[in-house]
Amino acid sequence: MANSKIIILEGPQGVGKTTITDYIRNAIPYTNLYRLSGTADTTKTGKEKAKIMYEDLVDYIEKLQNKSVNLLFDRTFFTEEIYCRLGFKEYTFTDVYNKLLDRLAKMDFDIYYITLYLSDENEFAKRLDREGKAKVKYTEFNKQSSVNQQNEYLKLADEIKEKYKNINVIKIDNCRDLNEVKKEIKELLDWKEK
């Protein structure tokens, strides 16, 4: 299979990452889906845990080059960087993040970095107001938290696009009809349905 893909989907809580990654996973042949939650340790020792975890992840991805498999990620080390930038953690992750991103950019894959966002920020309140929603220790599921995350994710996408010309940076408004979003993703990723 020529041109194996790495597809990394990022975005704030409540933006619809699970729905979209499930769609991509089931639509693109030979795709493995990974859902990562990072480390819940917000103290300075958490940085070392996150560093080891994500370095191991990048080592694993490097081993899969030229193996005819597409890799789809629902969050990766980009989320760690965002949460640190927003002050949810007691440390900065930027030095580790930059090294990981440099390694990723040099890999022999077609690399897609997709940021989902909601153009109507009020939609976050509707999506996050679901019974049984789990609470995350270091950040609450609430509209303002998601809006703040969204703003940082959009800035990060611009930074990646400016620095890494070989990474396809895509911003997708997930406020639209789901079928429209799916059609846009299919065209952007250029795949044939199973």
CB-CB neighbours of 149 under 10 Å? 25
Cα–Cα dist 46/41, whole Å: 5
Cα–Cα dist 144/115, whole Å: 18
Of 4, 75, 26, give the one whose Cα is nearest residue 182: 26
Q: Environment class of residue 23 by beta-carbon count within 10 Å: exposed (0-12), middle (13-18) or buried (19+)?
A: middle
| CATH code at 5-189 | 3.40.50.300
Quick one: pLDDT band at residue 19, thresholds 50, 70, 90?
very high
Task: Write down the pLDDT at residue 194.
Answer: 44
* Res 139 pLDDT > 70: no
Task: Write down the pLDDT at residue 191.
Answer: 64
Of all helices (H) and strands (E), which one includes residue 45? helix 44-63
Going through the chain in order, the beta strands assigned E by DSSP cover 5-10, 31-35, 70-74, 110-117, 167-173
- pLDDT single digits (tens) 50-66: 999 999 999 999 999 98
pTM here?
A: 0.90
* Res 138 pLDDT > 60: no
Cα–Cα dist 162/148, whole Å: 22
Q: How many CA atoms lie within 13 A of 179 on its CB side?
A: 0
Quick one: pLDDT band at residue 136, thresholds 50, 70, 90?
very low
Q: Which residues pair with 113 in a beta bridge?
A: 8, 169
Domain boundaries, the chain: 5-189
CB-based contact 6:104 (threshold 8 Å) = yes
Cα–Cα dist 20/191, whole Å: 15
CB-based contact 32:72 (threshold 8 Å) = yes
Q: Which residues pair with 34 in a beta bridge?
A: 73
